[in-house]
Structure 1
Amino acid sequence: MLHEMRETAGLSKEVVSAKTGINVTTLYRIETAQARPQRRTLTAMLELYEIPEPQRSDALQLLVDALKPGMARSFEDAVSEVYGAYINFEAEALSARFFQASYVPGLLQTAAYATAVYQTTMPKISDQVVEQRIRAREERSWVLTKDDPLELWVVLDEAVIRRLVGGKEVMREQFERLRYHTEKRNVILQILPFDAGAHPGMLGSFTLLDFPDPADPELVYVEGIASDELIEGHPEVRRYGVMFDQLRAMALSPRDSIDMISDTMRDLE
């Protein structure tokens, strides 16, 4: 439908990308129903295509009807455009590879840990927005328990488990959550120890997503202080893939990683 609307408006994907800020590859995924746009993204597209009522309202309602738990309307405005797109891609992905240097990835966070992270890293945002973002993270976790669950491979810098976020009780609960998830066949967790020395992840945290259809290109989501970014160019994605392979080779085995987490839990006592 959106493909036909764009063609009727006489606009190329490149023109739409320039006017809306939507990556060309992302626009292709949206038009081929491989990804769902956020409401504000769809609204911008409909306005650009000069779609009148009632067709505009019908298109927005279709988006609501097709929405999965990965992106609920109630907290859509609390996340960035890029992060919202990432959540939709994550819901469709076959596997995800995370490297985190600072904190536990959102999919594995407890509510208390997530609250402590937001209150510390974003002290000026309102309690309502914090609550909305935490709900977004909790609803995202459905991808780990659905019938065909996301295959998750996480490498954490040792600093993540050594840093006391929210206090001892919050960390104890978070460690229990990590151990619980690693009992699942679709979750692998490794710790990159301090004594591994310098490593490629020192450049920052990132996530690689792979999709069921081999024809769909991999995506990289990179978090930054000022903004986040979705990368879809093959050469750059390949570089991140090599970096992740190096990181997991340098990290402790999954069994030794859980032992380190258990030892850290005992240290809290």
Structure 2
Amino acid sequence: MTEKTPGLRSLAVALRRLREAAGLTPEDVIAKCPVSKSTLRRAENAEARPNRSTMLHLLTLYRADADTRAEIDALWEEAGNQDFLRPYHSDLRRDYKAWIACEIGAAEVWSYESLFVPGLVQTRDYVAAVIQGVWPSATDTDLDHHVQARMERQVVLTRAKPATLIAVVDEAALRRATGGPEVMAAQMRHLQEVAQLPHVTLQVIPFSGGAHPGMPGSLGVARFEKPAEPPVVYIDGMAGDALLDSDHDVKHYTDIFTAIQAKALDAGDSLGLIAAAEHEYTEQLETA
């Protein structure tokens, strides 16, 4: 199945809106145009890019003007761009690959983690320790591929026009000595460095904050510059991961993220907690 890249999603939204503006139902389109029900459904749900012939039939039926045709054609070309994929991405879960594509195309990313440091601000050694811990049967190749994929995701923070990152993490992720005190001390230093970037906001929910809506798992939200591209939600937990983009799901999980963020310390106090954790790990190294 084609990955749901931002370009593919933009094309799907545009085609669906054109059909609705023409006052046509999917059944009307199928009756009047040489396109199957499954082809139309897949095109409008960002499950596949329609071929050019199908595109031309749809645009003719929808009475699209020259400007609209040019816009749709540009979206069609963009939807075919899979440059974000690497050979080793075939090892990754389908929705995780789609989430990587969404992060790359996003103008803003919200990230919450209950037990891990957020992926976009992890160090390489921390990534390796996490994967080895949660996936004991992973081969060296598995490990290399997943570490590389995780590190490449972070380009969204260092590219010429970086994404804005709002990351919230539970204190549990800071206190769990993933990889040992040396790895964690370096990770805490990295968090303090990344937090100085003007497009990064990092907040911590302290243990003293008690229970909160984010305790069951992790949550990500990607927002895009194009008005035609709706936000996308990514959730991950013991039962698996999922990429969601319905209006209901986006509202539900953005509301949860807002509630989670309300339980967190402000950026300054969060950095103080991270610095304290770094000091504790450094002391452990000095007394070992």
| TM score, norm. by length of structure 1 | 0.77
1:238, 1:16 → 2: CA distance? 23
Aligned partner of 1:242 in structure 2 is 255
Q: Deviations over 1:192-246 (max 9, x none)?
A: 0111111111232110111111221111101122421001111121011111111
Asked whether 1:214 is paired with 2:249, we answer: no
Per the TM alignment, residue 171 of structure 1 is displaced from its structure 2 partner at its CA by: 0.3
Aligned partner of 1:11 in structure 2 is 36
1:237, 1:169 → 2: CA distance? 38
Aligned partner of 2:216 in structure 1 is 203
Aligned partner of 2:182 in structure 1 is 169
1:158, 1:31 → 2: CA distance? 46
Three-state SS of the structure 1 residue aligned to 2:215 is helix
Three-state SS of the structure 1 residue aligned to 2:240 is coil
Match of 2:128 among 90, 115, 128: 115
* 1:228/1:24 CA distance change after superposition, 3 Å: farther
Match of 1:138 among 151, 162, 182: 151
Identity over aligned pairs, percent: 32
1:261, 1:254 → 2: CA distance? 10
2:250, 2:41 → 1: CA distance? 24
* 1:12/1:156 CA distance change after superposition, 3 Å: same
Asked whether the 8 Å contact 2:121–2:191 carries over to 1, the reply is yes
Per the TM alignment, residue 262 of structure 1 is displaced from its structure 2 partner at its CA by: 0.5
1:24, 1:196 → 2: CA distance? 43
How many residues align structurally?
Answer: 227
1:14, 1:170 → 2: CA distance? 49
Match of 2:198 among 182, 185, 193: 185
2:239, 2:263 → 1: CA distance? 29
1:203, 1:71 → 2: CA distance? 30
Aligned partner of 1:229 in structure 2 is 242
RMSD: 2.6
* 1:215/1:170 CA distance change after superposition, 3 Å: same
1:24, 1:102 → 2: CA distance? 36
Three-state SS of the structure 1 residue aligned to 2:162 is coil
Q: Which amino acid aligns with 1:191?
A: V
Q: Which runs of 5+ in 2 are unaligned?
A: 1-7, 12-29, 52-76, 284-288
Aligned partner of 1:101 in structure 2 is 114
Per the TM alignment, residue 102 of structure 1 is displaced from its structure 2 partner at its CA by: 0.8
* 1:31/1:237 CA distance change after superposition, 3 Å: farther
| TM score, norm. by length of structure 2 | 0.72
Asked whether the 8 Å contact 2:39–2:50 carries over to 1, the reply is no
1:214, 1:101 → 2: CA distance? 31
Q: Which runs of 5+ in 1 are unaligned?
A: 18-22, 33-61
Match of 2:46 among 26, 34, 50: 26
Asked whether 1:83 is paired with 2:112, we answer: no
Q: Which amino acid aligns with 1:249?
A: A
Q: Which has the larger Rg?
A: 2
Aligned partner of 2:166 in structure 1 is 153
